[in-house]
Structure 1
């Protein structure tokens, strides 16, 4: 049970109701907010608005520790375990009580450990907010707590500052703001007067003033936090455990009712000798049934198996923060992948220059490099400088003047002095800006426009470069520099490998559509990339995606220009259509979708918010580890399925044996302590199944409960036949004149020894049953069991035989009897193996027939 706050627990902070403050002209923004740009708000007015709109913070109500702890002891399986423990205490069976209570506490401790991480995403988001802001109050600039900002506050942002709230920028100057963590854009956004700045983004260049138009939960950042708080889905492993638990509980309740009714009828009606001691005896039988029916170790085995899988993944540079995600990855059939930094290198690279006035490509690159400043660490400047074949040539020039990029002029300019002392002016920037500066002939303008259009169609950015030899009086347009973010070297091979496993990959990016399409083309992906704003209405509820939009999501190969709510809606819509979805991302904007996805994956270099929301964290760049994670997940899923079939079948064996023997023979075949020991001997060594050699499925696999229950029920039924057959043989050996001869030869003197025989048969037969359940083929064919599993089972068998031979916790029997039981179990292993093959064929035939019928019904009628 998660401690993450729900969306309705978040702060209701909001901007004033009225016009869309993001779109209307600046003068209307100031009039709507009732503030003057040169005065700001008064302290009194700011306090009044703070009381109205609430603090500029992400506020969540935390559940009390007590309610969280109590929640770990709720649920069908937990209730049944608690009931068994309670009955054990009432009857004074303290050994049983101790073992059962220890398992209950262990499961709760695992849940608590996992649950303590659930709010990491929200905590990381809170850290992303600016702690302080420079605000204009009563006409004076002062540092104030960012949480005290209100709509209408006038603030100042500068280099290195975190934008404290959603702003509309105004006044002179410019700012380059890195909002990639919020929007997914690969480059800092150039901002000018009238533009919006989002809370949580970082100023990389420049300085500007802004007026606050949104605070707290009403900011772009806050809306993302609300989505994170409300996101999340119950894992399929949890659902499977509930279904298995409910199935076994239903069977146990039916058998318990039959048992109680039969005992009461026998004592009260037939014998007419009812006593309270009889009631306690019946209660003791019910206790045995409860202990036998509840898969008390199932959550622990699931957790340990997945924890060992998580350890294996950690060696491949993947950290698992939510164990259930490993099982989810096995069934993933759709992977929504971020582009920038995941499929691509997130490093702008220069393409081959397109020459206009220049004759040498390096002349164009050199002029662009001279119009850059390496110390600014600007992505574009760095790419241009790295494009030089001889970087040392830049040192032969001295920069005497530099005009940084301005979003109004859209270019940078520099004046440099060469080795001869001559001054040269250079400029680089948006092609249209350089055309306006150089004013070339019409045919040159046409060539530039055609070149830019051709580059844009391929998803490349275009940078024009010009040079002036006479102090900027006349300019020569040297050429165009194509720039692109190249795919990672391993991306294409990884996508092909993932696709071969039956996983469809959809690209989800904040970059332009043309860039996304070209990247998809280079990677061999589908190019049906849609622009998010063309598909998703602005006022759409991401939790309730209309059918027509869901259809578009299903068909599309990806989406560009996405916002956090779009990513979240895409994941949620795909899940609603029955897909198991993995999502990769690295920014705050990815956090809601990462948390909602069945397997959210934070890639290398991700923000704290993305890591906190993700279930799988990659520490190596790229997606190559995803391929390994899918293989490992499918192995783990196979191991868990093996254990599930084994556990259900063995549980049914024990339950029916106890009830049928009690009702039909008036004999209790097992004591309560025997059942507890059987549970320990069967389950604890089985945890080594995490090391088992398991084949990797070629297609996504998921829980198919009807199939699992059909196979396990069939195996369980014939296991009951196996156990009951041995029990009847033992009764014959004890009670009949002929049978006593053989019974005395084996040391079977009374029913207490028969109980030991049944104990050994269930331990040995249970472990041999595991070899049958671990493969859909004959159990003696490869892949063979792993050495740790075989060693654990053999060790357990030796321990069980020594217990039976020397009377540890159970009455002692002869070695001859032990040999007979083991031989009997080996013969039945082959019988159960053949049964498994028959059941698998019947289930597969039925499934295939149903699929064919469905396909026939869904075909269009043709004239």
Structure 2
């Protein structure tokens, strides 16, 4: 281009501009290639390090093998801490607690019973069972979602890769953010709607007890006693998110066992829906503490009739604000035996659990809004939890369940949103959607 423009009026070619432009293009292409190659190698190394293994039954013998060679029909063993390598259906055995946060964003593990399906990428938090592989690779639930993203049609192709983007990618890499496609930096500059996951992105992905709104149901208890009793019924090792949230309220996690001697710990199970610990205090007396689903704890309480109405009012209040409820109770064990039924249970109160926003999320959302970028929340959590998070972050509470996008018209066909609204208009007006998977 420089040669053509500068060769008019019988003037000689401007070789200096020509050589300068060629050198800049060469440098730009070289830097871009190096940055993308390094990012690709880093991503490949990370994927290899995270490649899951699985114990599979072959020729009547269980052997550990790469999850990549599993096929439908294989029988695998799933145990505590395993990343489930493929979509599978649980066979005979005890129920599992499975963390599906990679699929749903829900930080609390869910119970999966024999005959139910578990999905690739989930993590087993409790239990052990055999399972029949029903889908692998791109045919898994997670794989289908990834395929939808990979096969999207881009509306435009960038025409230039600038040195500025290469330098920006390098700077981001130093901060731990690997940019595999540098044109994404340019595309972000033209973004006007940002859809963000909630758990771990807008929030900490760590349950927290909201001390300010703890409710008591016993006249002899206070908030400190309620938290300490709940910590007695929690594990201090291999903690689940709820145990961690409770013990984090103490000055030190060791305070959960300070001055007491553990005799027996009852882990959570889907039937009782609670944990409990029998322990001996420094004066030699035996006691028992329990925490769990409020309905289960209320059923144990000797004063159930006196507090039942109040407990349900508290549960409903928490639910309206997107908070989970956890009941706590206590009893003395005069028989001094761990298997004895003990004295009457006393329900001390309820703890509200919430996944709090990150400390910088609110400012980031407001900055995005000031720049003309609309931020919408996409979460697998319940609608009430999504609305409460949106309220705390200033994102708005005009949120809908994901099913609102796929309602049928009065004739039973065609996609319509809530109140007959077109799904595209609903997406534009909504502040977010809950119940996604």
TM-score with structure 2 setting the length: 0.80
Q: Which residue of 2 aligns with 1:368?
A: 230
Whole-angstrom CA distance in 2 between matches of 1:505 and 1:519: 13
> For the structure 1 residues 428 and 118, does the alpha-carbon distance in structure 2 shift closer, same or farther, using more than 3 Å as the test?
same
Question: Which residues in structure 2 correspond to 1:441-460 (within 5 Å)?
Answer: 441-460=304-323
Q: Which residue of 2 aligns with 1:188?
A: 109
Match of 2:355 among 482, 485, 488: 485
Q: Which residue of 1 aligns with 2:9?
A: none
Q: Which residue of 1 aligns with 2:68?
A: 147
CA-based RMSD of the aligned residues comes to: 3.5
1:334 corresponds to 2:193: yes
Larger Rg: 1
> For the structure 1 residues 489 and 148, does the alpha-carbon distance in structure 2 shift closer, same or farther, using more than 3 Å as the test?
closer
The offset of 1:376, in angstroms, is: 1.4
Preserved contact between residue 459 and residue 517 of structure 1 (Cα < 8 Å): yes
The offset of 1:310, in angstroms, is: 4.6
1:429 corresponds to 2:292: yes
Whole-angstrom CA distance in 2 between matches of 1:126 and 1:531: 37
SS in 2 for 1:442: helix
1:269-301: per-residue Cα shift (whole Å, max 9, x none)? xxxxxxxxxxxxxxxxxxxxxxxxxxxxxx4xx
SS in 1 for 2:237: helix
> For the structure 1 residues 214 and 445, does the alpha-carbon distance in structure 2 shift closer, same or farther, using more than 3 Å as the test?
farther
1:387 corresponds to 2:256: no
Q: Which residue of 2 aligns with 1:355?
A: 216
Q: Which residue of 1 aligns with 2:373?
A: 503
Whole-angstrom CA distance in 1 between matches of 2:308 and 2:60: 49
1:605-653: per-residue Cα shift (whole Å, max 9, x none)? xxxxxxxxxxxxxxxxxxxxxxxxxxxxxxxxxxxxxxxxxxxxxxxxx
Match of 1:553 among 423, 427, 431: 427
Question: Which residues in structure 2 correspond to 1:300-319 (within 5 Å)?
Answer: 303-310=162-169
Q: Which residue of 2 aligns with 1:323?
A: 182
Preserved contact between residue 265 and residue 277 of structure 2 (Cα < 8 Å): yes
Whole-angstrom CA distance in 2 between matches of 1:156 and 1:514: 36
> For the structure 1 residues 156 and 177, does the alpha-carbon distance in structure 2 shift closer, same or farther, using more than 3 Å as the test?
same
Question: Which residues in structure 2 correspond to 1:688-699 (within 5 Å)?
Answer: none
Whole-angstrom CA distance in 1 between matches of 2:326 and 2:45: 40
Structure showing the higher strand proportion among its residues:
2
Preserved contact between residue 297 and residue 327 of structure 2 (Cα < 8 Å): yes
Whole-angstrom CA distance in 2 between matches of 1:125 and 1:225: 15
Preserved contact between residue 452 and residue 462 of structure 1 (Cα < 8 Å): yes
The offset of 1:106, in angstroms, is: 5.3
Match of 1:414 among 277, 287, 290: 277
> For the structure 1 residues 526 and 398, does the alpha-carbon distance in structure 2 shift closer, same or farther, using more than 3 Å as the test?
same
1:56-102: per-residue Cα shift (whole Å, max 9, x none)? xxxxxxxxxxxxxxxxxxxxxxxx99xx9xxxxxxxx9x89988876
SS in 2 for 1:375: coil
1:396 corresponds to 2:259: yes
Q: Which residue of 2 aligns with 1:345?
A: 204
Preserved contact between residue 125 and residue 225 of structure 1 (Cα < 8 Å): no
SS in 1 for 2:77: strand
The offset of 1:121, in angstroms, is: 7.1
The offset of 1:529, in angstroms, is: 1.4
> For the structure 1 residues 499 and 511, does the alpha-carbon distance in structure 2 shift closer, same or farther, using more than 3 Å as the test?
same
Match of 2:326 among 453, 459, 463: 463
Preserved contact between residue 191 and residue 407 of structure 1 (Cα < 8 Å): no
1:118-172: per-residue Cα shift (whole Å, max 9, x none)? 79879966765523x2234465544454334333333211122221211222433
> For the structure 1 residues 125 and 221, does the alpha-carbon distance in structure 2 shift closer, same or farther, using more than 3 Å as the test?
farther
Question: Which residues in structure 2 correspond to 1:134-213 (within 5 Å)?
Answer: 134-137=55-58, 140-213=61-134
1:710-741: per-residue Cα shift (whole Å, max 9, x none)? xxxxxxxxxxxxxxxxxxxxxxxxxxxxxxxx
SS in 1 for 2:103: helix
1:817-857: per-residue Cα shift (whole Å, max 9, x none)? xxxxxxxxxxxxxxxxxxxxxxxxxxxxxxxxxxxxxxxxx
Q: Please say which of residues 396-405 and 204-213 is displaced more in the overlay.
A: 204-213
The offset of 1:111, in angstroms, is: 6.0
Whole-angstrom CA distance in 1 between matches of 2:181 and 2:373: 21
> For the structure 1 residues 234 and 129, does the alpha-carbon distance in structure 2 shift closer, same or farther, using more than 3 Å as the test?
farther
Question: Which residues in structure 2 correspond to 1:781-800 (within 5 Å)?
Answer: none
SS in 1 for 2:388: helix
> For the structure 1 residues 524 and 147, does the alpha-carbon distance in structure 2 shift closer, same or farther, using more than 3 Å as the test?
closer
Structure showing the higher helix proportion among its residues:
1
TM-score with structure 1 setting the length: 0.43
Which runs of 5 or more structure 1 residues have no equivalent in the other structure?
1-79, 85-92, 242-298, 539-544, 564-863
SS in 2 for 1:376: coil
Whole-angstrom CA distance in 1 between matches of 2:380 and 2:328: 27
Aligned length: 405
Preserved contact between residue 28 and residue 163 of structure 2 (Cα < 8 Å): no
Preserved contact between residue 356 and residue 479 of structure 1 (Cα < 8 Å): yes
Q: Please say which of residues 407-416 and 434-443 is displaced more in the overlay.
A: 434-443
SS in 2 for 1:337: strand
Whole-angstrom CA distance in 2 between matches of 1:415 and 1:170: 33
Preserved contact between residue 32 and residue 163 of structure 2 (Cα < 8 Å): no
SS in 2 for 1:374: coil
Question: Which residues in structure 2 correspond to 1:762-777 (within 5 Å)?
Answer: none
The offset of 1:395, in angstroms, is: 1.3
Preserved contact between residue 128 and residue 200 of structure 1 (Cα < 8 Å): no
Whole-angstrom CA distance in 2 between matches of 1:320 and 1:121: 10
Whole-angstrom CA distance in 1 between matches of 2:163 and 2:354: 45
Whole-angstrom CA distance in 2 between matches of 1:310 and 1:143: 39
The offset of 1:553, in angstroms, is: 1.3
SS in 1 for 2:290: strand
Preserved contact between residue 198 and residue 220 of structure 1 (Cα < 8 Å): yes
The offset of 1:383, in angstroms, is: 1.3
SS in 1 for 2:258: helix
Preserved contact between residue 129 and residue 199 of structure 1 (Cα < 8 Å): no
Preserved contact between residue 323 and residue 353 of structure 2 (Cα < 8 Å): yes
Preserved contact between residue 463 and residue 483 of structure 1 (Cα < 8 Å): yes
Q: Which residue of 2 aligns with 1:649?
A: none
Which runs of 5 or more structure 2 residues have no equivalent in the other structure?
5-12, 334-339, 409-414
Question: Which residues in structure 2 correspond to 1:631-670 (within 5 Å)?
Answer: none
